[in-house]
Structure 1
Amino acid sequence: MAFSLTYAGFPSPDGPLKIAPIPWDSALLDFPVFEVNCAQTPLDALGRHLSAWLSGLPRDRATLVVAKISPESVAVAAALAQHGFYPVETMIEFELLLARLTLVIKRQSTHMQLRMATPADLAPVTSIAQSAFAADRFHLDPNVPRNKADLRYAHWIENSFRAGDPVFILEDTEQGEVIGFVQARETAPQTMDITLGAVRKHLQNSGAGVLMYQELFLALRARNFKRAITRVSINNLRGIKLTLRLGFTVRAATVALHWFRRGTKSD
């Protein structure tokens, strides 16, 4: 699924601060959500223009703003903090050359099967997506209602099904039950970006996720993919450990910071 943002310069029309509304998060939370891209904004301009833009936001409704920066951008982080931004999540980006995949599970399962999703899988996959996540920035921000944070990835996977994105399913063939899913997208020739994945909450830490991802990367390699990319929250230590065990190496990291203001009237 293509999530693309349209940035505009501030001050208008081509100022150094780049700002975009995030329509899917705004629809989910029922109040405005924006992303501020300040990676190329000079520090003096950042402080001046960010203050002006934030003060100009309507005060009658709650507003959430996210900024994503490199962990090395300490001065930018400090400038954002001075304006009320607070860190909520660090995502580590990993890369795997599929020829170097390390097999963690040596014996093939007799009743766990990885396959492509069909439209009939939407309901169980959505159910998993709504209950399996707890370490992402929406769940970690007390300003985001828990039920809305739960719905975020459910909506994400519904949109992925509608868009026809590759969605892989781990099925327990003995029980006839979908127990996990992975949503992916081909971002470059022979490169697959592993965007979202989870197993049922009661099966986490059971080995089911290890099997699902290992089978996925074996399947991608069999289809002549050469490389896989994924991102894992630093709050998900089990996920980081699994990613490293499979042979991934660290490629980059991104820190997400939020700014939130409650509205003067109920939303």
Structure 2
Amino acid sequence: MSSPSIGEQKTTPVGGLSIAEDSWLTGVMSRTVHRVSGTVEEDGEPQAQRTLRKITDRPGFSYARVPTHHVRTSRLLERGGFHVVDTGITLETRQLPERDGEGRRARLARTEDQAAVEEIARRSFIYSRFHLDPDIPKHLADEIKAQWVGNFFRGQRGDYMIVAEHAGHVAGFLQLLNAPGNVLVIDLIAVGKDDRGLGLAEEMIRYAVSACGKPQTLRAGTQIANTASLSLYEKLGFRIVSTSYVLHHHGTAN
């Protein structure tokens, strides 16, 4: 999933590309961050290259997500100094398989869960694009995830938050977004390291389907390197619907 678009400044596409400042990531990373979106056709390459130079010739951090089949766009970004850090996979399902028994460890999050949820997010991720980028320190990648889920409790991102409890403590969380077409999107999901292997992630996903408006489609995104996540989604009947490259650019002064 892309970063929270809080305060994002959008621009008109030039040569097929749009550049927008990501003010939320700018605040977390303490440097100017831009998101590059769109795809480039052959006749738009000169304009797109000039557009990119506006951000690549100065300090800062930029990122882009490009469909894997759109090689022209990814090559143009690479020539501009962007590097692939992740291959993202989007999966969907319309129905979860039947399961014997009913789990009782998942519930809707409460305000007092914020600290526990943020700490799980801070300690649980290794395959996010921020963690896979060798030019982003681990402590910063961890903090991005912690603040990402914290945005739900601040009313800035997410429509639902599910938590799972085990042995008297919050052991995992599931942040969700509503999307057009009665689609429920898994924005972020994690289970604490000491509570994995107990089926908590599956239980939270199943609870979300019944507690969050009974969506027609459930959508999730993960990384090709995250084989455990892919196995879980495949077990639950998800199928791949799209793939994309995620590219990062770090300005020379950073």
Both proteins in one fold, TM over 0.5:
yes
Structure 1 length-normalised TM? 0.83
Aligned to 2:5: 3
Unaligned runs of at least 5 residues, structure 2: none
Residue 46 (structure 1) aligns with: 45
Q: Give the drift of 1:67.
A: 1.6
Percent pairwise identity: 26
In structure 2, relative to structure 1, the CA distance for the partners of 1:190 and 1:156 (3 Å cut) is: same
Alignment correspondent of 2:162: 168
CA contact (8 A) 2:32 2:61 kept: yes
Q: Tell me if 1:102 matches 2:97.
A: yes
Q: CA deviation at 1:17?
A: 3.2
Number of equivalenced pairs = 249
Q: Secondary structure at the match of 2:154?
A: helix
Instruction: Flag the 1:96–1:53 CA change in 2: closer, same or farther, 3 A.
Output: closer
Could you list the per-position Cα deviations for residues 18-69 of structure 1 after superposition, in whole angstroms to 9, with x for gaps in the alignment? 1111111111111111111241x3335335542564266664xx41111211
**1:22 aligned partner, one-letter code:** D
Are residues 1:145 and 2:137 paired? yes
**Distance (Å, rounded) in 2 between the aligned partners of 1:200 and 1:95:** 25
**Residue 128 of structure 1, aligned match among 120, 141, 156:** 120
Contact 1:214–1:246 (8 Å) recurs in 2? no
Distance 1:2 1:186 in 2: 14
**Secondary structure, aligned partner of 1:193:** strand
Is the aligned partner of 1:64 residue 2:61? yes
- CA deviations on 1:218-251 (whole Å, 9 max, x unpaired) are 545xx43222111111111110111011011111
CA distance in 1, matches of 2:215, 2:48: 44
Q: 1:79 aligns with which of 76, 79, 90?
A: 76
Q: 1:246 aligns with which of 224, 236, 245?
A: 236
Match of 2:110 in 1: 118
Q: Please, which runs of 5 or more residues in structure 1 have no aligned partner?
A: none
- RMSD over equivalenced CA pairs, Å: 2.5
> Residues 158 and 33 (structure 1 numbering): CA distance in 2 closer, same or farther, change over 3 Å?
same
- How does the TM-score come out when normalised to structure 2? 0.87
Q: 1:211 to 1:49 in 2, by over 3 A?
A: closer
1:95-118 deviation digits (Å, cap 9, x = unpaired)? 1102xx114x63445xx5111111
> 1:215 and 1:8 mapped to 2: Cα distance?
39
| Aligned 1:229-240 pairs, distance under 5 A | 229-240=219-230
Match of 1:201 among 180, 187, 193: 193
After superposition, the Cα gap between the structure-2 partners of 1:134 and 1:7, relative to the gap in structure 1 and judged at 3 Å, is: same
Q: How far off its partner does 1:171 sit?
A: 1.1
Task: Measure the CA separation in 2 of the matches of 1:151 and 1:32.
Answer: 17
CA pair 206-262 structure 1, distance change in 2 beyond 3 A = farther
1:258 and 1:50 map into 2 onto residues whose CA distance is 16
Partner AA of 2:218 in structure 1: A
Q: CA separation of 1:23/1:191 partners in 2, compared to 1, >3 Å: closer, same or farther?
A: same
